[in-house]
A = this chain, B = another copy of it.
Amino acid sequence: MSEFDLIRNHLTGLGAVRDDVIIDVGDDCALLDVPKDRQLAVSIDTLVGGVHFLADCSPESVGYKALAVGLSDLAAAGAEPAWATLALTLPQADEAWLEAFARGFAALASEQDVRLVGGDITRGPLSITVQVHGFVPVDHALRRGGAKPGDLVCVSGALGDAGLALAHLGRGEPIDGYLRRRLERPTPRVALGEVLRGVATSAIDLSDGLLSDLGHILGASGCGARIELDRLPLADQVAGAVAASGDWSLPLASGDDYELCFTLAPCHAGELAILSAAAGCPLTRIGEIDSQPGLRFVLADGRPWQAAGTGYDHFG
């Protein structure tokens, strides 16, 4: 079984059929048509075995998540997903693994109208790199650098679920179906990103934790923020863990949430329920942008809370 056979047998024809794909997997390059009046948004990410996913994670979930992570970046730019390319490094030609991986990847790709247009397979320590490609109307991409004092800070979904799942698994404890789905099958907030175009003043996806990722918005926008901790949207299990420990690091500084954090001008404050309905996911206002640099957290009783870390960092 050569690398060419592996690509032909397992990485060809994955995801949606799209008429903007002129040459698909199997030539030196894929050849693609970008629609007129659209800009191309691209993002590349690597998942390393044992670092970004546990060794015993099912290959189907790894395939799903490898694409979800990229689509979450497209969502943060407000882009409509179109194509993906995949570079796989495998320790050996394990066809059962590859078949399950491709099934997970294709499930999300089909759901999001994405085509896999290019694949590369090499031998080495397990690692998966996916590049995603999407479209944005000219000059309408969401960016990190547009937040202004007075803007509301909002997040989608719930925070800290994947972090709690990893903490349990790290201690050898079982996790329930909800936490496993949140860790292994995060939902990229693509519909939300499209709804926020022309509405949000800034956006980012939460891959490294709110502390770190909102920090990027503040850095790019040249402002600060005040977050009310009792407003954070938390699943019961995460709320319980925070209550038991008195430590807010779990929802603030653990990675892999893949929710969007975004800012809204105050005039849009009344529209959060409409945006939530349009995007099909919960949205919560958690604080406000201000002009004082830095990120401040306030407890329900008004006392400040100081974070110990700065979010997930590979080299920290």
Binding site for B on A (CB under 8 A): 1-4, 6, 22-23, 26-34, 36, 39-52, 73-74, 76-77, 79, 85-87, 89, 92-93, 117-125, 127, 129, 131, 133-134, 136, 141, 143-145, 203-205, 216, 220, 310, 313-316
Inter-chain contacts of A49 with B (CB < 8 A): 124
Closest 10 CB pairs of A and B: A48-B124, A28-B76, A125-B125, A29-B77, A29-B41, A129-B129, A93-B315, A123-B314, A44-B85, A34-B34
Say whether B43 contacts A39, CB under 8 Å. Answer: no
Least Cβ–Cβ distance between A40 and chain B, in angstroms: 4
CB-CB < 8 A to A121: which residues of B?
314-315
Residues on B with beta carbons closer than 8 Å to the beta carbon of A118: 42-44
Residue from B29, B44, B134, B204 in contact with A43 in the complex, judged by beta carbons closer than 8 Å:
B29
Could you give 21 example pairs across A and B, Cβ below 8 Å?
A4-B313, A22-B39, A27-B145, A28-B73, A28-B74, A29-B43, A31-B77, A32-B40, A32-B41, A33-B40, A36-B36, A44-B85, A44-B120, A48-B89, A48-B122, A50-B124, A52-B122, A93-B315, A124-B125, A125-B125, A131-B131
